[in-house]
């Protein structure tokens, strides 16, 4: 693993970059979490304080509420000490003497609320120039968004009208793994050996293929499918779920799954489950028969909502339902480092590139940043951490802001290293991953 000297050096570099971006007036450095992280750096040394900053924002709701929280309330948050509390209260005291008290914002509610309101923590009262700067930066970044290959044939029914029964899926994985030397396995054999009905077996094979674990041509495991079947047959581990979510929600061919996490939750106002259904019915009108849309859209949406709110994907805590039944997403930052690195290598391999611009990647549908709800600043921070570990290069000199992959590494190597609990190592003989 990375030794302590390297870790301390990397942390020092990250803190310096954080200070430099703030002093340079970067709009992205003004978010609640980034400001709180910068503040905590002065009270806590030689430690990544972003998790603590995120937890404080999660508990209290905003930076202003963190600062105004009582000593006793702050003490209840795991990881915060007296030095940090003192610093926060000093800042709050200074603020109370020099500025008027900020009105506490009301919680988001209603169909008119955007997803950004629901899962991003925006500054309580941004200055006019910062607000306009944010708007300009967003427009500039979006203008560079790479186009998606529209020639890919999209799959309308991934679930085939079934729910994602993870325990039943493990039966399929187990049998395929036990017979991994077999070049082709018929569906009848799977039905006979899994004890599941034909329709459910077809559904589970389709979902497994959508996550890149099963090859539908011969119903055998892909290289990633073999690794996961060997190490996490029930799909319970955090890293496994991160990868499966990335592949399922990030694959353009998985029509509704992709649209939900890359467009509805990212761009549209918050909706109920019925609202999602109406959204897709309007979008698909004329492309499919009314009977097909009316029959299958509700079932496919039910599969997605059920998988992320009631079953294993619920562990990621990405999709939530408000008290008034609005579906919204919370950004995910608790990545398994090796798995996130695998996602980045896989995403770049799919685009046949060794370089990836951070800002562009953050707004590209199907990217790790997009499917987990990260903005450019949060994605950049994750990338910096992987750079400090030596698994990829984050290049910032000469006005660059890009990721460069390291020769000899691949997505499958980082995933294997994760499951084998070891450091990844380069191997020039490792090739790209082919999922279908």
The model's pLDDT over 274-312, given as tens digits with 9 standing for 90+, comes to 999 999 999 888 888 888 899 999 999 999 999 999 999
- Predicted confidence at residue 70, as pLDDT, reads 84
- Predicted confidence at residue 27, as pLDDT, reads 59
Pairing mode, strands 355-357 and 402-404: antiparallel
Q: How confident is the model at residue 97 (pLDDT cuts 50, 70, 90)?
A: low
Residue 270 CA, chain-centre distance (Å), reads 19
Q: Which two tokens stand for residue 166?
A: 């993870």
Check pLDDT > 90 for residue 37: no
Check pLDDT > 60 for residue 124: no
* Long-range pairs of 82-87 with CB within 8 A, sequence gap ≥ 24: 83/43, 83/44, 84/40, 84/43, 84/44, 84/52, 86/43, 87/39, 87/40, 87/42, 87/43
Q: Which residues contact 341 (CB under 8 A, 6 or more apart)?
A: 386, 391, 392, 414, 424
Highest mean pLDDT among 71-85, 96-110, 143-157, 220-234: 220-234
Can you list the alpha helix ranges (DSSP code H) found in 24-127? 32-41, 50-60, 63-68, 71-75, 82-98, 115-119
Q: How confident is the model at residue 144 (pLDDT cuts 50, 70, 90)?
A: very low
Determine which helix (DSSP H) or strand (DSSP E) holds 328, and give its type and residue range: strand 327-329
Identify which of 382, 431, 395 has the alpha carbon closest to the alpha carbon of residue 411.
Answer: 431
- Predicted confidence at residue 120, as pLDDT, reads 38
- Predicted confidence at residue 28, as pLDDT, reads 60
In terms of pLDDT, which residue wins out, 157 or 12? 157
State the average pLDDT for the chain: 83
- Predicted confidence at residue 149, as pLDDT, reads 55
pLDDT digit string, tens, across residues 387-403: 999 999 999 988 899 99
Task: Find the mean pLDDT for residues 82-107.
Answer: 65
Q: Which fold has domain 337-420?
A: Arc Repressor Mutant, subunit A (1.10.10)
In whole angstroms, what is the distance from residue 382 CA to residue 376 CA?
Answer: 10
Check pLDDT > 50 for residue 106: no
- Predicted confidence at residue 348, as pLDDT, reads 96
Determine which helix (DSSP H) or strand (DSSP E) holds 357, and give its type and residue range: strand 355-357
pLDDT digit string, tens, across residues 164-195: 999 999 999 999 999 999 999 999 999 999 99
- Predicted confidence at residue 22, as pLDDT, reads 79
Number of alpha carbons in the 13 Å side-chain half-sphere of residue 345: 28
Identify which of 19, 103, 24, 23 has the alpha carbon closest to the alpha carbon of residue 68.
Answer: 103
pLDDT digit string, tens, across residues 332-372: 999 999 999 999 999 999 999 999 999 999 999 999 999 99
Q: How confident is the model at residue 63 (pLDDT cuts 50, 70, 90)?
A: confident
What are the CA-CA distances from residue 182 to residues 16, 175, 176, 185, 220 (Å)? 54, 11, 9, 7, 8
- Predicted confidence at residue 45, as pLDDT, reads 76
Quote the pTM value.
0.68
In terms of pLDDT, which residue wins out, 57 or 336? 336
- Predicted confidence at residue 123, as pLDDT, reads 38
Identify which of 382, 403, 406 has the alpha carbon closest to the alpha carbon of residue 394.
Answer: 403
In whole angstroms, what is the distance from residue 124 CA to residue 65 CA?
Answer: 10
DSSP, res 29? G
- Predicted confidence at residue 76, as pLDDT, reads 87
Cβ atoms of 224 and 415 closer than 8 Å: yes
- Predicted confidence at residue 54, as pLDDT, reads 87
- Predicted confidence at residue 328, as pLDDT, reads 95
What are the CA-CA distances from residue 304 to residues 2, 261, 273, 280, 329 (Å)? 38, 10, 10, 14, 13
Dihedral class, residue 195 (left if φ above 0, else alpha if ψ from -120 to 50, else beta): left
In terms of pLDDT, which residue wins out, 19 or 267? 267
Torsion of CA 85, 88, 89, 93, to 10 degrees: 170
Task: Find the mean pLDDT for residues 188-217.
Answer: 96
- Predicted confidence at residue 108, as pLDDT, reads 41
Q: Provide the residue ranges of all domains of the chain, joining segments of one domain with +.
A: 166-329, 337-420
Q: Which residues contact 370 (CB under 8 A, 6 or more apart)?
A: 250, 261, 262, 266, 362, 363, 364
């Amino acid at each position: 693993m990375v030794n302590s000297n390297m870790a301390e050096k990397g942390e020092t570099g990250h803190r310096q970059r954080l200070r430099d971006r703030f002093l340079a007036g970067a709009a992205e450095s003004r978010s609640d979490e980034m400001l709180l992280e910068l503040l905590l750096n002065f009270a806590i040394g030689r430690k990544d304080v972003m998790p603590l900053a995120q937890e404080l924002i999660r508990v209290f709701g905003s930076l202003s509420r963190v600062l105004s929280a009582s000593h006793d309330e702050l003490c209840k948050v795991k990881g915060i000490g007296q030095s940090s509390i003192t610093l926060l209260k000093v800042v709050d005291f200074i603020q109370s003497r020099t500025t008027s008290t900020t009105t506490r914002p009301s919680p988001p509610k209603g169909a008119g609320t955007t997803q950004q309101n629901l899962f991003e923590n925006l500054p309580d009262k941004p200055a006019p120039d910062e607000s306009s700067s944010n708007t300009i930066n967003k427009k500039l970044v979006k203008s560079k968004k790479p186009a998606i290959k529209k020639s890919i044939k999209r799959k309308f029914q991934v679930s085939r009208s079934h729910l994602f029964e993870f325990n039943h899926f493990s039966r399929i994985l187990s049998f395929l793994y036990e017979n991994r030397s077999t070049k082709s396995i018929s569906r009848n054999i799977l039905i006979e050996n899994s004890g599941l009905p034909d329709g459910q077996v077809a559904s589970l094979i389709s979902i497994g293929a959508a996550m890149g674990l099963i090859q539908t041509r011969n119903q055998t495991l892909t290289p990633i499918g073999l690794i996961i079947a060997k190490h996490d047959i029930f799909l319970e581990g955090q890293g496994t779920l991160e990868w499966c979510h990335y592949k399922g929600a990030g694959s353009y061919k998985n029509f509704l799954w992709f649209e939900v996490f890359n467009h509805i939750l990212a761009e549209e106002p918050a909706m109920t489950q019925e609202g999602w259904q109406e959204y897709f019915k309007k979008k698909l009108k004329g492309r499919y028969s009314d009977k097909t849309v009316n029959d299958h859209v509700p079932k496919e949406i039910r599969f997605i909502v059920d998988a992320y709110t009631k079953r294993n994907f619920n562990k990621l805590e990405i999709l939530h339902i408000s008290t008034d039944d609005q579906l919204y997403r919370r950004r995910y930052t608790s990545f398994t480092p090796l798995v996130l690195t695998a996602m980045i290598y896989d995403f770049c391999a799919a685009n046949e590139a060794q370089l990836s611009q951070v800002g562009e990647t953050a707004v590209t549908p199907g990217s790790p940043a997009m499917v987990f709800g990260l903005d450019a600043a949060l994605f950049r921070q994750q990338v910096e951490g992987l750079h400090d570990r030596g698994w990829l290069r984050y290049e910032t000199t000469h006005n660059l802001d890009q990721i460069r992959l390291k020769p000899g590494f691949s997505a499958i190597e980082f995933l294997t290293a994760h499951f084998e609990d070891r450091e990844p190592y380069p191997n020039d003989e490792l090739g790209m991953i082919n999922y279908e």
